[in-house]
Structure 1
Amino acid sequence: MDRLTATTIKPIKISQIARILNAIFDEKKDQEVSSFCTLFPGEPGGISFLAKDSYIKRLKDTKASVVIINEKQICPDDCNSICLRVKNPYQAWGKLLSKLGSPITWSNQEISKSSNIHKSAKIAKNVVIGENVLIGENVVIHPNVTIYPNSIIEKNCIIHSGAVIGADGFGFALPENPKETLQKIPHIGHVILNEDVEIGANSCVDRAVVGATSIGEGTKLDNLCQIGHNVQIGNGCVLAGQVGIAGSTEIGNHVQIGGQVGIVGHIKIGDFVRIGAQSGVHKSVEKGKTIIGSPAVEASIWRRNFANYNMKSK
């Protein structure tokens, strides 16, 4: 199982899941699943959900054994997954995570006895470390840091004061009836900080819904950065202060991101991309591009547009 894209659960039959969700499916195809997984790439023996109806044509690309889809959709002929049809896939996904996932729990100790901390790690006062946390060799954790259960902090990482690693991601299902409350989506995944990562003061790296939110080797975050659930950041990246990255976005290697940049969810930023300060990135960016502005465009286009604007405003 890929720890970045899946989270194990106690094996359960699809027919049992269908009863929990009041879902429609072909009982002749009943089998067991043993993990929750992201839709792409998916995981054999895993269950996922279709977030957008427009993704229905891409179902052939998932390795997930089971996919929850809208009841109005029909599973394509070239899809290898078993489809469970429900009224609201995202709400059903949340219900299933609540029912079958392992909730985050805290012990009474500031530093849980079930955590695995290397003897060379330096941990300051008022640090809270949850259950089953792994902290590697020569890690430095400054005062008032909170590390949620199941997080993995690999060797030579530095985490500055006030940072929070592994809190819930921002996930809520909208109710069909506006008078009803938002449905919180449980986050049962974890966070991985790979070797030599530095997290600035008061920055937050949210736990994944399933699988992991991952920061690549040698990447550095400034103060007040926000990394959403299931974000994957590559190696050797630099993020200046107040950068915010929404959920499930993939950042390549050696990417430079200026201060106060906002990046939407579910897009891909290629290797060696440079993003100017205060840019708003709304779509995927190819390798090696330099972009700026909101909405962000290639720097050469932005400069030309800005020059034209100045000419017309005189």
Structure 2
Amino acid sequence: MPGRATRRAPSSSPWARSLCTSGNRRRWLGFETRRRAEAGATRTDMAYTLRELADAAEVTLRGRGEIEIDAVAPLNRAGPRNVAYCASSRYRALISESRAGALILHPEDSGVFSGNALLCDDPRVAFARIARLLHPPGPIQPGRHPSAVIHESASVADSASIGPQAVIEAYACVGHQALIGAGAVVGERCVVGAGTRIEARAVIMHDCVIGERCVISPGAVIGGEGFGYVRETDGRWLKVPQLGRVVIGNEVDVGANTTIDRGALGDTVIADGVKLDNLIQIAHNVKVGEHTAMAGCVGVAGSAVIGKRCLIAGGSGIMGHITVGDDVEVTAMSFLKGSVSGPGRYSSSLPAADADVWARNLGRFRHLDELARRLRRVEQTIKQILSGGKH
């Protein structure tokens, strides 16, 4: 789709506003021009007509299709060259006050806003499509930083980008237009697929496979030793060698400081399209199905099998050696102890309450067994009375 290069307005952040004095801005623009030239940058900020955006997002256009949009913005801060969206009734009051060049709205909300609109059943999806178009990731700059350490037996595509102090070990393979960030490590015999980004200080341990167009965020560790120990007769722990791999499919995102342990004998497998947030622990031999998403601080114990398109909310725990079916949703801070066939929505967490109320409820909880026994005796007595018996 054709687009026209434009100069984007400076950010509204305090740091960016400080650049708007004439001297500071000239110095900054000079630095930025030199930086882009030295880096060989080819990316330009693009503007699209509203009609082009509507076609790309597959939504209905209402209003002036010829106006140009060059950025997305929050609903309450968007200007005439920005597009914003509203997908929640909590923000509906802001619609009529918005100064955005266009809003992405559900048809039910279209009457509140008199300006240009992109109408669709799911504004979040349309917003994501448009944001990806207006704000694409920067291109991979091929090359190898002089401080990178690359074993002579490793195979690295000429189009790949290898950052400062990155390490690529023996017989590893790095694909077309892959990025290995500063300080990242790709272990022996690993495979990194085309277009995959291994961000700064992420570690891919030996023999692991990362598919195409994945993002492994900073600090993630793929293929660390699984937590495998057996207790000897004298009580000491004996470590069990972890001999499997981690195999990750295509278009998988792994958040910062997330860890995925290698299998003990077989592999730990993360299927295509899985999205993992920051600070998640995936133990050895876990299998995660296609397009499942997990939020931060989820823990999945060893050998659990999780199906396709599942949603695991933050802080949840999945017991080891259980099976979770396709299309299962687990709400925040829940604990799955047994297998569930799905689809369905499962919860086990208790929401916070006033401390005094919680203390009283906790006291009652301690007497649940006694109350249950008393209730059974009452039920038995009532049953005998109704049947004409004596008690």
Question: How does the TM-score come out when normalised to structure 2?
Answer: 0.47
Q: Percent identity?
A: 36
Residues 75-114 of structure 1, C-alpha deviations (whole Å, 9 max, x = no match): xxxxxxxxxxxxxxxxxxxxxxxxxxxxxxxx89921141
Equivalences for 1:2-21 in 2 at 5 Å? Answer: none
Residues 148-174 of structure 1, C-alpha deviations (whole Å, 9 max, x = no match): 000000101100000000000001001
Give the equivalent residue in structure 1 for 2:175: 118
The answer to whether the 8 Å contact 1:195/1:216 transfers is yes
Give, as a single letter, the amino acid of the residue that structure 1 aligns with 2:314: G
| 3-state SS in 2 of match to 1:202 | coil
Q: CA deviation at 1:251?
A: 0.1
Give the equivalent residue in structure 2 for 1:287: 342
Give the equivalent residue in structure 1 for 2:286: 231
The answer to whether the 8 Å contact 1:205/1:227 transfers is yes
* Equivalent of residue 162 in structure 1, options 216, 219, 224: 219
Residues 255-305 of structure 1, C-alpha deviations (whole Å, 9 max, x = no match): 00000001110000000000010011110011112111159xxxxxxxxxx
Mapped to 1, the partners of 2:170 and 2:177 lie a distance apart of 17
Q: CA deviation at 1:177?
A: 2.1
Q: Can you give the 5+ residue segments of structure 2 that lack an aligned partner in the other structure?
A: 1-150, 153-165, 351-360, 366-391
Mapped to 2, the partners of 1:168 and 1:230 lie a distance apart of 11
* Equivalent of residue 134 in structure 1, options 170, 191, 195: 191
Give the equivalent residue in structure 1 for 2:306: 251
Mapped to 1, the partners of 2:321 and 2:254 lie a distance apart of 23
Mapped to 2, the partners of 1:132 and 1:210 lie a distance apart of 17
Equivalences for 1:303-314 in 2 at 5 Å? Answer: none
Q: Can you give the 5+ residue segments of structure 1 that lack an aligned partner in the other structure?
A: 1-106, 296-308
Confirm or deny that 1:217 pairs with 2:272.
yes
Confirm or deny that 1:263 pairs with 2:321.
no
Equivalences for 1:19-30 in 2 at 5 Å? Answer: none
The answer to whether the 8 Å contact 1:232/1:248 transfers is yes
More helix by share: 2
Confirm or deny that 1:193 pairs with 2:193.
no
Give, as a single letter, the amino acid of the residue that structure 1 aligns with 2:341: E
The answer to whether the 8 Å contact 2:289/2:306 transfers is yes
| 3-state SS in 2 of match to 1:277 | coil
Give, as a single letter, the amino acid of the residue that structure 1 aligns with 2:181: A
Give, as a single letter, the amino acid of the residue that structure 2 aligns with 1:147: I
* Equivalent of residue 229 in structure 2, options 169, 172, 180: 172
Name segments (4+ residues, structure 1) moved above 6 Å: none
Equivalences for 1:77-92 in 2 at 5 Å? Answer: none
| 3-state SS in 2 of match to 1:166 | strand
Mapped to 2, the partners of 1:286 and 1:153 lie a distance apart of 29
Residues 161-210 of structure 1, C-alpha deviations (whole Å, 9 max, x = no match): 000000000010012222xx200000011001100000000000000001
State the aligned residue count. Answer: 192
Give, as a single letter, the amino acid of the residue that structure 2 aligns with 1:212: D
Give the equivalent residue in structure 2 for 1:59: none
Mapped to 2, the partners of 1:214 and 1:266 lie a distance apart of 15
Mapped to 2, the partners of 1:128 and 1:236 lie a distance apart of 26
The answer to whether the 8 Å contact 2:332/2:349 transfers is no
Q: CA deviation at 1:119?
A: 2.7
With 283-292 and 143-152 compared, the bigger mean Cα shift is at 283-292
The answer to whether the 8 Å contact 1:190/1:208 transfers is yes
Mapped to 2, the partners of 1:188 and 1:163 lie a distance apart of 20
Give the equivalent residue in structure 1 for 2:106: none
Q: CA deviation at 1:225?
A: 0.2
Give the equivalent residue in structure 2 for 1:143: 200
User: RCO greater where, 1 or 2, for CA within 8 Å and sep 6 or more?
Assistant: 1
Question: How does the TM-score come out when normalised to structure 1?
Answer: 0.58
| 3-state SS in 1 of match to 2:291 | coil
Give, as a single letter, the amino acid of the residue that structure 1 aligns with 2:191: L
The answer to whether the 8 Å contact 2:305/2:321 transfers is yes
Residues 221-279 of structure 1, C-alpha deviations (whole Å, 9 max, x = no match): 00000000000000000100000000000000000000000111000000000001001
Give, as a single letter, the amino acid of the residue that structure 2 aligns with 1:265: G
Give, as a single letter, the amino acid of the residue that structure 2 aligns with 1:187: Q
Mapped to 1, the partners of 2:319 and 2:295 lie a distance apart of 17
Mapped to 2, the partners of 1:211 and 1:267 lie a distance apart of 17
